[in-house]
A = this chain, B = another copy of it.
Amino acid sequence: MTRTNRQWKLAKRPEGAISEGDLELVPSLVADLEDGQALIRNIYLSLDPTNRIWMSDMDQYMPPVEIGQVMRGGTLGVVEESRNPAYPEGALVSGLGSWQDYAVVPADFFQTFEKPAGVPLTAFQGVLGMIGATAYFGLLDICDPKEGETVVVTAAAGAVGSLVGQIAKIKGCHVVGIAGADEKCEWLRSLGFDAAINYKTENVLETLKQHCPKGIDVVFENVGGEILDASLTLINQNARISLCGLIAEYNAEGPVPGPYMFRNILMKRARVQGFIVTDFAPRFPEAIGQLAQWMAEGRLQYRVDVVDGLENAPSAVKKLFDGSNKGKLMIRVSEEP
C-alpha cells in the first residue's frame, strides 16, 4: 500500500525568530520497506526550544539540520508495517525522528515501549520521556540540591522547568520559579512552588531578592540573558548552576554578551555546568522509574499543550519563544491507536 507522506524540510536558516518560508512542507510517497526496516506512523511530534538551535548553523551539541533535510524532532509513533522482528506491528516507538507523517526506519533507530493502563500516551513525550529525564538529571545530578537550599528555576512553567521545581520541592528545597505570565505563576504556586515571578511585569532582581532571603544555592537555567544575571547577582558561595538552555539567545542575530555578573562565578566559587540529557541515556530507566512513581503518588503534575496537525508545526514551535505555550508542546500528527 503506497502512502503519501508530508515532510517539513529546512528551506533556509531562520534569521532571528522562525518565520514563514524557513521550513517547507513537501509531499512525497513512502518507499516500500526493505528487509530490517519498519514503517512508523507518527502520532506525536515534540516541539522543543532546541529545535531552534538545530535550525541554525551555530556550533552546537549535535550536527545542525542541513538545508533541504527533513527537520529533526522527538517523535512518538506506532509501527504500521514491519520487516523487522524488533518492531512488531502495533508496537509504540519513540526517539529522535523527524517532522513528517511517516518514517521508514532501520533496526535500532527507535525504541519500543509499552503504555501502562491509566497513563496517557502524551506523558511519554513529557514527564516519562526526555523532558522528565532532563529535569531529573539536570537538577539532581548536576546540582545535588540539599534540603533547605534555595532553588531558582527559569522558564519554570515550561515542560522541563515545572518538573524541576516539583522535584526540588520533593527534595525539601525552597523553590522560586520565573515565568512569563500571571496565569503561569498561579499554576506554579498551585504546584507547590514557594514563589513565582512574572518577568514580564515584575523587576526580576528585586522580586528574586524578596523571595530568596537566604540567597540562591541552585539555579536551573533555561533562559540566559538578564534573567540569568539576576540569579547570578544573588548566588551564595558554592552555588551550582545547571545550564539546560539559553532560550533568550537562540533567536539572536550577531554576538550575545554573556551574563554581566559572570565574575560572581569566581567570587562565589560557583559552578556552571552545561549538560545534554542524552549523556545520561544509560541511566534513563532510573529516572523514568522514579518519575513514574512520583506521578503515581500524585506528587508530580504536568500539563500538555497539544496542537493538531503536522501542517501547524512551524507556527506552533514559535509559542516556545514568545512564552504563549502552556505545558509540554507537541503536535498531534495522527490519532492515537
| CB proximity of A335 to chain B, nearest CB, Å | 36
Report Cα–Cα, A276/B238, bound state, in Å.
11
A268 interfacial by beta-carbon distance below 8 Å = yes
Contact between chains at B255 and A258 (CB < 8 Å):
no
Nearest B residue to A246 by beta-carbon distance? B263
Kindly supply a per-residue 1/0 record for chain A positions 46-67, scoring 1 wherever the CB is within 8 Å of any chain B CB and 0 otherwise: 0000000100001111000000
- How near does chain B come to A247, taking the closest CB pair, in angstroms? 11
Q: Which of B224, B237, B265, B267 contacts A272 (CB 8 A)?
A: B265
- A257-B257, A271-B271, A273-B271 as given contacts; A59 in contact with B262, CB under 8 Å: no
CA distance A243 to B259 in the complex (A): 15
Q: Check A271 against B269 for contact (C-beta < 8 Å).
A: no
Q: Which residues of A from 223 to 272 have beta carbons under 8 Å from B? A: 224, 233, 237, 243-246, 249, 255-272
Q: Is the CB of A260 within 8 A of B266?
A: no
Which chain B residue lies CB-closest to A256?
Answer: B260
* Chain B positions within 8 Å of A269 at CB level: 61, 273-276, 279
Is there an interface contact between A246 and B271, defined as CB atoms closer than 8 Å? no
For this chain, the copies found in one complex come to 2
B-side contacts of A58, CB under 8 Å: 263, 267
State how many angstroms separate the Cβ of A105 from the closest Cβ of chain B.
Answer: 27
Most chain B beta-carbon neighbours within 10 Å: one of A224, A245, A267: A267
Question: Which secondary structure characterizes the binding site on chain A?
Answer: loop
Taken residue by residue from 209 to 224, chain A's Cβ proximity to chain B (1 for < 8 Å, 0 otherwise) reads as 0000000000000001
- CB proximity of A301 to chain B, nearest CB, Å: 27
Q: How far is the CB of A63 from chain B (nearest CB, A)?
A: 12
CA distance A261 to B257 in the complex (A): 8
Q: Which residues of B contact A261 (CB under 8 A)?
A: 258
Partner of A274 from B53, B233, B271 at Cβ < 8 Å = B271
Measured CA separation A108–B3 after assembly (Å)? 83
The CA of A271 and the CA of B265, in the complex, are separated in Å by 11
Question: Does B224 lie within 8 Å of A267, measured CB to CB?
Answer: no
Q: How far is B246's CA from A265's CA once the two chains are assembled, in angstroms?
A: 10
Asked whether B279 lies within 8 Å of A274 as measured between CB atoms, the reply is no
Which of B244, B262, B267 has a CB less than 8 Å from the CB of A258? B262
Residues of B within 8 A of A249 (CB): 263
Please state if B264 and A59 are interface contacts (CB–CB under 8 Å). yes
Docked complex Cα distance between A237 and B279 (Å): 11
CB distance from A321 to the nearest CB of B (A): 16
Decide yes or no: A271 and B268 within 8 Å by CB, A249-B263, A258-B260 being known contacts: no
> What 5 new A-B contacts, CB under 8 Å, besides A257-B262, A271-B271?
A59-B267, A60-B267, A256-B262, A270-B273, A271-B272
Which are the 10 A-B pairs with shortest beta-carbon distances?
A258-B258, A258-B262, A257-B257, A266-B274, A272-B272, A258-B259, A255-B260, A265-B274, A243-B266, A269-B274
Give A residues with C-beta under 8 Å from B.
53, 58-61, 224, 233, 237, 243-246, 249, 255-276, 279
